[in-house]
Amino acid sequence: MANIDLSRLSVMVVEDSQFIRSLIVNSLRVLGVGTVKSVDDGGQAIEVLKLVKENPMKAGMMSVDIIISDWEMSPVNGVMLLRWIRRHKESPDRFVPFIMLTGYSEPKRVQEARDMGVNEFMSKPFTVNALADKIFSVINYPRQFVHTSSYFGPDRRRQSIPIDGEERRILTDESPQVEVIRG
């Protein structure tokens, strides 16, 4: 069994509850994450992302590899932050993996974040095993990104499984309407 080495990884934690934030930050550090930056809300996260792009030395990190963000924050909540990252022209990395930490499990809420381009959900209560699972998933099971007129984010279909009802995904890589970008 080969160990995952997190020492070169930079993670930003966005959480307004100081206690929960310290739980996550401490867990990441003990797991071996090289750089952990934490902020209070989505607005501060956006400022850090911009600073990392403009002046990484001043920001104290060369990149942000994964974002772990709470949903419920003020004034800029987790979904607003995610929307900015995925869609705003100033976003430095529209592909950055985004793990949403949430107490919400209502299907409507889950759908909302999914449609905004979230990679993974992590339900509260927070546990080390759940954190490790989600990090493992974004590292080892990345999904292609899909860009359409109404969506930009990780492919919302994780697996090719038969679905009930009409098959809406009729295009293939060879279709003239499809462009595959590798890199």
Interface positions with another protein (CB under 8 A): 1-6, 8-9, 16-17, 19-20, 22-23, 26-27, 30-32, 65-66, 72, 74, 95, 97, 103, 124-129, 132, 136, 138-142, 144-149, 155, 171, 173, 176-183
Q: Report how far apart, in Å, the C-alpha atoms of 91 and of each of 7, 45, 46, 147 are.
A: 25, 11, 8, 16
Closer CB to another protein, 114 or 152, in the complex? 152
| Residue 148 C-beta: closest distance to another protein, Å | 5
- HSE, CB side, 13 Å, CA atoms: give it for residue 29: 10
Residue 78 near residue 69, CB atoms below 8 Å: yes
Closer CB to another protein, 31 or 80, in the complex? 31
| Residue 165 C-beta: closest distance to another protein, Å | 20
| Residue 178 C-beta: closest distance to another protein, Å | 5
| Residue 42 C-beta: closest distance to another protein, Å | 15
Closer CB to another protein, 149 or 166, in the complex? 149
Q: Which residues contact 114 (CB under 8 A, 6 or more apart)?
A: 156
Identity of the amino acid at 176: P
Closest CA to 126 of 70, 45, 67: 70
Closer CB to another protein, 32 or 60, in the complex? 32
Closer CB to another protein, 4 or 163, in the complex? 4
- HSE, CB side, 13 Å, CA atoms: give it for residue 89: 0
Q: What is the chain's length?
A: 183
| Residue 91 C-beta: closest distance to another protein, Å | 14
